[in-house]
Amino acid sequence: IIYATNPIPKNGITGNFDLGLSFTKNTETTLQFNNLFLIKYQLGNSSFSLTNNISFISKSGEDEILNKGTQDFRYALNSKKIDINITLNHMYDISRSIKHRYGSGLGMSYNPHDTDTKKLGFGISALKEKEINLTNDPKIQNRLSGNIIFMIKPNKNFSISGTTNYQPNIEETGDFRWNSNISFRVNLNPHFLLSINNTFNYDSMPEEGVSKSDYQLINSI
């Protein structure tokens, strides 16, 4: 998600690495570990990016560890206002009965504003997915994806970025997914920053027994 909110840098490698760990002990003991990183390489008008977002949650009285995550690779051919991109992604989320979801996409985006302090982009792409649930039942789907991306940096110590994706199933009316993410980053000093990441997911037709929506909040330094 975050790769698309960064203005196009000069040639070279950029990125960030966030690591979080929390421990809670009350009537239950909960241990949570999460990691998010971004690596981006710019070469002329071409950019390559890799993102990873994983979480492990262990609760007392439960044998299985809640394991969820996404990995995304993206290649984009950039121009001043329009990008053409190819994406490959992988997702797994035991809480949503998704053992693996593999996807590939081809699309383009229009960026009316793209500076160090402000970004606004609109994109559309075609996706092909293969999803395997916990009972090893594979399912192949074709979807469209429309997205809006923004970033605002009012000063050098604070920034807000976000993205919203809408993904309808081409072959089945009423089957769609909605994903929104907003991130706040505050520089505490030259070496540390506070990151607050909020994600909301909605699936109109999830696996049987799974809630249609879920929410994740990750705070890290």
Q: For residue 7, what pLDDT is reported?
A: 45
Do 140 and 103 meet the contact criterion of CB atoms below 8 Å apart? no
Beta carbons within 8 Å of 63's beta carbon, 6+ residues apart: none
Which pLDDT score, from 0 to 100, does residue 183 have?
93
Predicted local distance difference test score (pLDDT) of residue 9: 52
Position 27 scores a pLDDT of: 64
pLDDT at 26: 65
Q: What is the DSSP string of 185-217?
A: EEE-SSS-EEEEEEEEEEESS-STT--SEEEEE
In this prediction, residue 115 carries a pLDDT of 86
Rounded Cα gap, residues 153 and 75, in angstroms: 25
pLDDT at residue 4, as a whole number: 41
Total residues found in the chain within this entry: 221
Taking 70 as the pLDDT cut, the residues of the chain under it are: 1-10, 26-28, 61-63
- What is the pTM for the complete model shown? 0.77
Residue 53 has a CB neighbour count (10 Å cut-off) of 23
